[in-house]
Amino acid sequence: MAPGSGRSLNNPHPESFDALHSRLGIDKLWDSDHNADQMQSSHDLDSSSSFTEDIPVVGDCSTPTVMPWDTTTGARGIGLLGRRMQFIRRQQEVLRKSYEECRRITALFSKTFYLGTTLLSPQKQRAVWAIYTWCRRTDDLVDGPRVQQRSDQLRAVLSEWEKRLYDIFDGRAVDALDLTLKDTVSNYPELTVSPFRDMIRGMLMDVDQCRFETFDDLYVYCYRVAGTVGLMTLPIMSTVKPGREGLREAMEPAVALGIGLQLTNILRDVGEDRLRGRIYLPLEDLRRFNYSEEDLFNCVLDSRYRELMKFEIARARSYFEEARKGVPLLSEDSRLPVQASLDMYSQILNVLEENGYDNFNRRAYISKSRKLATLPVSYLRTRTSEAWKPIRIVAEFMLGTVQVLPS
């Protein structure tokens, strides 16, 4: 067993979340006292004050185009109430277009995730698209055109982005995409700034390191850049048990889903990351299988590498298993979207196996027809009655999606 790993070579399953988070020092989110200490200013969401300043349209932030908010233009002779109504109609139109842009961004950059969101109610769809877009923009700060900037410059960019985040939670939007997240925060008061802030910390890890010595190191990274997404969206999905108590019960599976998704991304993208000089696989795991960094950069695909991939795939699946436990805790209208997203994404691991573990030359992806074929099985998995179990087993067998996973 590797020092501090909490896992044996033959047991890649995660240890208790409480023990893991305590050992790694991960914040206990949803704790009101902790969140109160972290907030830099009061969370004032008075919608009447949030549109009093000019708001830049989406575009190059360095040279923003200003959206005119002068509601008196062309309104001579209209009374105060008429001007106010005109103002509200204009702000609603901007918000509608901004949410549509969030939908387009989500559909463009994450087809599997987007397909899952289409199963949500319209209000929940918009909120999740707004959060995804903020996460996408955050990731692009360190993984887009800015990636060539020096570390100190990227740190400054992320620092400004964090200040902007607190502004959003205080009801102030800088541009039209910020406006959607500000609106989402006002619609879902259980949203807290903590997971958003922790994601920015994850981006700093991408700036500072391109290797992870242990799985503990990688887990902190996965939690910050992906586990946090589960915590961001949990208040939107809502839980059977209302309030913070219900959120706390569903927190661990929500984090596990994010960890499983990120581990799957890492396994899918080994070849692409190698071209950027990055290795996200824990170095302790490479040593376990006597596989070197040089072997990885030379795309050596042999029995050592296949055994390494089997080990990592088993670990990712163990987090998907943990995530499945949280589906029944969600409100009924959110179970199918989450279950479907989980089932579709976890199949990337199946494709990686079908490709002979070759993630150097072949990208593991799920076809649209395969995703659609998964939906009936996902639906049956959300049925908790034992009467559905035989039908679910038959459907999984017929669709060829039988996996060693809990019912």
Segment 252-264, tens digit of pLDDT: 999 999 999 999 9
- Reading the block at residue 299, the tokens are 């795309």
Give residue 251's pLDDT: 93
Q: Measured on CA atoms in the order 13, 18, 19, 22, is the torsion positive or negative?
A: positive
pLDDT digits (tens, 9 = 90+) for 72-126: 344 445 566 666 666 667 778 889 999 999 999 999 988 888 888 998 999 999 9
pLDDT at 326 over 50: yes
pLDDT at 395 over 50: yes
Give residue 115's pLDDT: 87
Give residue 403's pLDDT: 45
Give residue 49's pLDDT: 37
Question: First-to-last CA distance in the chain?
Answer: 30
* 173-182: average pLDDT: 92
* 309-336: average pLDDT: 94
44, containing H or E segment: none
Answer yes or no: are the C-beta atoms of 322 and 405 closer than 8 Å.
no
pLDDT at 68 over 70: no
- What residue type is assigned to position 149 of the chain? Q
Give residue 130's pLDDT: 96
- Reading the block at residue 140, the tokens are 């692009």
Distances (CA, A) of 217 to 3, 17, 183, 238, 268: 12, 15, 35, 31, 19
- All structural domains of the chain, each given as residue ranges with its CATH number in brackets, are 17-371 (1.10.600.10)
**64 DSSP 8-state letter:** P
How large is the C-alpha radius of gyration of the chain? 23
